[in-house]
Amino acid sequence: MNRALFIVDVQNDFTEGGALGVVGGDAVAAGITRFLNDHAPEYALIIASRDWHDAEGDNGGHFATGEPDFVETWPVHCVAGSPGAEYDPGLETSAVTHHVKKGQGVPAYSLFEGVTDDGARVATLLDDHGITHVDVTGIATDYCVRASALDAIGHGRAVTILTELVAGVAPETSEAALAELAHAGAELKENR
Q: Say whether the peptide bond before residue 140 is cis (omega within 30 degrees of 0).
A: yes
From 9, 26, 135, 151, the catalytic residue: 9
The question of whether 9 is a catalytic residue gets the answer: yes
How far is the C-alpha of 163 from the C-alpha of 160, rounded, in Å? 9
103-107 long-range Cβ contacts below 8 angstroms, 24+ apart: 103/51, 103/52, 103/53, 103/59, 103/62, 103/78, 104/52, 104/53, 104/54, 104/80, 105/53, 105/54, 105/57, 105/59, 105/60, 106/59, 106/60, 106/62, 107/59, 107/60, 107/61, 107/62, 107/72
Q: Which residues have a Cβ under 8 Å from the Cβ of 179 and sit 6 or more positions away?
A: none
From 13, 142, 144, 151, the catalytic residue: 144
From 26, 78, 88, 102, the catalytic residue: 102
Strand 158-167 and strand 98-102: the pairing is unpaired
- Which positions are annotated as active-site residues? 9, 102, 144
